């Protein structure tokens, strides 16, 4: 299955990297379904991904973070692909890393249907993480993704990446975040989900949190395009995930393609504390 997507991911990575390098950064007139003003670059990257995924006959439907509705490609296909063509695109004009995220679902939308996930990171190097039964790191070399190594999380890391506006955090969330700093954890947060989680994965562990906040009780990050793909990767890499409740995140019923959820991803040690604190305060 990875092979079906590898070539397509290569083409997407090369074309988006080129678009990032040269494209004028003006704002378009459009708003996407999450209410953000869409950058020209977002629209261009969305078009690139749509064009490349359309070449795969086994894809049934695609849904983009940039489009309100899902799009049927082949009624006999079995894969449902949800993608965020350029996550963190507001970071491009300050030249920080950004990424493309893909959730690969079979037979329908929702966490239970997820069978693989993948992201591409555009940084000093272009890399890809592909997760199915293992989490594999690839490096783009001469327009081809070369396998580098398998990624496994350690039991405990030393990175703390807390998302959202502190002013709107719940008091127990702040206590949890502070407790890690008090233990020597270092703050690593660029505001791009892909590089922030890539760092935790590659350095072996830590905690990324985007909690329920006073202004966004359902979190900010989109389930199909962002939360489930990373949840899947962290599980396969030997880490833990949570949406802040006692429910199994990968069993939540599907609601809307643009639905959001609070999310926590990390290595086992940090996630154990997170779950205990959230359970106590539920
Ligand atoms: P962005 O600011 O570009 O919208 O996709 C949402 C996202 O980026 C993630 O990449 C990132 O983790 C998160 O938002 C950052 O949000 P906060 O600034 O609220 O922490």
Q: What are 173-196's pLDDT values in tens digits?
A: 999 999 999 999 999 999 999 999
Q: What pLDDT score was predicted for residue 88?
A: 95
Atom of ligand 1 nearest to the CA of 194: 10
**How many whole angstroms from 208 Cα to the centroid of ligand 1?**
12
- The 3-state DSSP class for residue 110 equals coil
Query: For the chain, how far is it from start to end, CA to CA, in angstroms?
Result: 40
CB-CB contact of 262 with 275 (8 Å): no
Q: In a mutational test of the pocket of ligand 1, which residue from 37, 41, 83, 87 has the highest number of ligand atoms less than 8 Å from its CB?
A: 87
Q: Which of 233, 4, 264 is nearest to 135 (CA)?
A: 233
At 90, phi and psi to the nearest 5?
A: -70, -10
pLDDT tens, position by position, 113-142: 999 999 999 999 999 999 999 999 999 999
Rounded-to-integer distance, Cα 118 and Cα 124, Å: 19
Say yes or no: CB of residue 121 within 6 Å of ligand 1: no
- Using alpha carbons only, what angle is made at residue 148 by residues 52 and 145, rounded to the nearest 5 degrees? 20
Say yes or no: CB of residue 168 within 6 Å of ligand 1: no
**How many whole angstroms from 191 Cα to the centroid of ligand 1?**
5
Q: What pLDDT score was predicted for residue 38?
A: 61
Tokens of 65: 């973070």
| From 37-46, 47-56, 110-119, 151-160, the region with the lowest mean pLDDT | 37-46
CB-CB contact of 56 with 2 (8 Å): no
This prediction has a pTM of 0.94
**How many whole angstroms from 55 Cα to the centroid of ligand 1?**
30
Say yes or no: CB of residue 164 within 6 Å of ligand 1: yes
Atom of ligand 1 nearest to the CA of 196: 12
Atom of ligand 1 nearest to the CA of 165: 19
The residue assigned the tokens 């154990």 is 272
Q: What pLDDT score was predicted for residue 93?
A: 87
- The 3-state DSSP class for residue 136 equals strand
pLDDT tens, position by position, 25-35: 555 666 777 66
Say yes or no: CB of residue 262 within 6 Å of ligand 1: no
The residue assigned the tokens 């920080």 is 96
């Amino acid at each position: 299955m990875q092979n079906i997507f590898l070539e397509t991911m290569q083409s997407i990575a090369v074309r988006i990297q080129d678009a990032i390098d040269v494209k004028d950064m003006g704002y378009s007139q459009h708003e996407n379904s999450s209410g953000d003003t869409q950058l020209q670059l977002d629209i261009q990257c969305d078009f690139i991904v749509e064009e490349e995924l359309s070449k795969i006959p086994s894809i049934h439907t695609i849904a983009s973070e940039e489009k309100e509705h899902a799009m049927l490609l082949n009624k006999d296909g079995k894969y449902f692909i949800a993608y965020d063509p350029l996550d963190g695109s507001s970071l491009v004009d300050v030249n920080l890393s950004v990424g493309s995220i893909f959730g690969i679902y079979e037979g329908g939308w929702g966490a239970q249907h997820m069978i693989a996930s993948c992201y591409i990171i555009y940084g000093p190097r272009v890399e890809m993480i592909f997760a199915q039964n293992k989490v594999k790191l690839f490096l783009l070399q001469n327009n081809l993704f070369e396998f580098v190594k398998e990624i496994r999380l350690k039991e405990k890391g030393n990175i703390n990446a807390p998302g959202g506006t502190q002013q709107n955090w719940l008091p127990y969330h702040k206590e949890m975040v502070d407790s890690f700093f008090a233990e020597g954890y270092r703050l690593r947060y660029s505001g791009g989900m892909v590089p922030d989680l890539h760092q935790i994965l590659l350095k072996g562990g830590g905690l990324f949190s985007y909690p329920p906040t006073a202004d966004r009780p359902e979190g900010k990050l989109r389930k199909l395009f962002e939360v489930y793909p990373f949840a899947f990767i962290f599980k396969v890499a030997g880490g833990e995930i949570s949406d802040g409740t006692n429910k199994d995140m990968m069993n939540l019923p599907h609601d809307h393609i643009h639905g959001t959820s609070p999310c926590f991803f990390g290595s086992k040690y940090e996630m154990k504390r997170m779950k205990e604190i959230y359970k106590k305060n539920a």
